[in-house]
Amino acid sequence: MSRIRRVGRYGLGTGLVLLVAGLLLPETRLVPVQGAGEGDWHPQTFWYHPWGRSGVHKGVDIFAARGTPVLASSGGLVLYRGELARGGKVVLTLGPKWRLHYYAHLDRIADTGFHVRAGDTVGTVGDSGNAAGKPPHLHYSLLSMLPLPWRMDDAPQGWKKMFFLDPTAHFELGAGR
């Protein structure tokens, strides 16, 4: 019985440390396509409506030549690396502030292991998934796992804005170029 309590306390303590660390660790916010700048995406791409089957575009499409390196915008744990119907070849990471970084339509996925640092290559720009036949680009979404209810508004699907963040507002332009 005492061993169970020790494990429980250890698990709870570890969980609290991870939660606090996730909230306090500094967040790097690189533009996730090597060499890309503001001219490589449309300034109103985030939350554009109407947008196909998803209704609203919940990220930014950064256009570049096929094969251009896609960089980790921030350090984090790799939660998923594989293929999805709409996103094609994708990488999903969990970064500081409990934010998910979603990289989609990749041409190639890099074998990064379980952890990436800001600026590490996670793949290359492509047109996989529902972007097939369109100009190569990276679809990048940034999500908060912690709800931010003050961000909700009356836009289509506006309640989801408490989770989806505008990636372009978070980029540190000029960093990592």
CA distance 57 to 1: 52
The CATH topology of domain 26-170 is Glucose Permease (Domain IIA) (2.70.70)
Model confidence, pTM: 0.85
CA distance 22 to 83: 27
- CA torsion angle for 78, 172, 152, 102 (degrees, to 10)? -20
The pLDDT value recorded for residue 48 is 78
CA distance 49 to 135: 20
8 A C-beta contact, residue 69 and residue 106: no
Please state whether beta strands 115-116 and 76-84 pair in parallel, antiparallel, or not at all (unpaired).
Answer: antiparallel
The pLDDT value recorded for residue 176 is 46
CA distance 14 to 99: 19
Residue 62 has phi, psi (to 5 degrees) of -110, 115
Determine the longest span between alpha carbons in the chain, in angstroms. Answer: 62
8 A C-beta contact, residue 31 and residue 20: no
Q: Which residues of the chain are under the pLDDT cut of 50?
A: 1-7, 176-177
How many other β-carbons are positioned within 10 Å of the β-carbon of residue 164? 22
**CA distances in angstroms from 20 to 98, 103, 149, listed in the order given:** 10, 25, 21
The pLDDT value recorded for residue 56 is 83
